[in-house]
């Protein structure tokens, strides 16, 4: 394959000038949680990079967003470290879902615990 063939077969690199750091608030949240969890000693940064790398490798075409993969990798690493089981997370998601649905539009959603 010549270079021009390779180029023709290569997906274009997306460009973003000085776009925002995070496209949506949840991305900032999961980013900050990952940093904080690392700093709390839950995993080393190399473990994180490996997990994120493995997760990104499942999607070479980049169909899902970068932070979607980041979130999946974070869940996977916390699961592997026995910090967050899938069952616990499922329960919490359901609780947040009910809390949201019980909250009138425009008001902050609060999760009542214990």
Partner 1 sequence: MPGHDHSHDHSELSETELRVRALETLLTEKGYIDPPALDELIETYETKIGPRNGARVVARAWADPAYRGRLLADATAAIAEFGFTGRQGEHMVAVENSPHIHNMVVCTLCSCYPWTVLGLPPVWYKSPPYRSRAVRDPRGVLAEFGVELPKDTQIKVWDSTAEVRYLVIPMRPEGTEGWSEDKLADLVCRDSMIGTALALLPSNRKGAA
Task: Give me Rg for the CA atoms of the chain.
Answer: 18
Q: How far is the CB of 80 from partner 1 (least distance, A)?
A: 14
Output the CA–CA distances (angstroms, integers) from residue 45 to 9, 26, 50, 85, 110, in the order listed. 34, 21, 9, 21, 32
The smaller minimum CB distance to partner 1, of residues 35 and 80, is found at: 35
Report which DSSP code applies to 44. Answer: -
Q: How far is the CB of 85 from partner 1 (least distance, A)?
A: 9
| In the complex, least distance from residue 87 CB atom to partner 1, rounded to whole angstroms | 11
Residue ranges in contact with partner 1 by CB under 8 A: 3, 6-7, 10-16, 18-22, 26, 28-33, 35-37, 40, 42, 44-46, 48-50, 52-53, 56, 59-62, 66, 68, 71, 74-75, 78, 83-84, 88-90, 92-93, 95-97, 100-107, 109, 111, 113
| DSSP letter string, 49-78 | HHHHHHHHHT-TT--S-HHHHHHHHHHHHH
Q: Tokens standing for 81? A: 């470290």
CB of 88: closest distance to partner 1 in angstroms? 6
């Amino acid at each position: 394959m010549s270079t021009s063939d390779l180029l023709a077969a290569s997906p274009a690199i997306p460009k973003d000038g000085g776009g925002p750091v995070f496209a949506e608030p949840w991305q900032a949240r999961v980013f900050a949680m990952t940093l904080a969890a690392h700093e709390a000693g839950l995993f080393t940064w190399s473990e994180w990079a490996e997990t994120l790398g493995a997760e990104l490798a499942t999607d070479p075409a980049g169909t899902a967003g970068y932070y979607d993969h980041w979130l999946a990798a974070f869940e996977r690493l916390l699961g592997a470290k026995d910090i967050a089981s899938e069952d616990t997370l499922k329960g919490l998601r359901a609780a947040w879902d009910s809390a949201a649905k019980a909250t009138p539009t425009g008001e902050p959603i609060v999760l009542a615990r214990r």
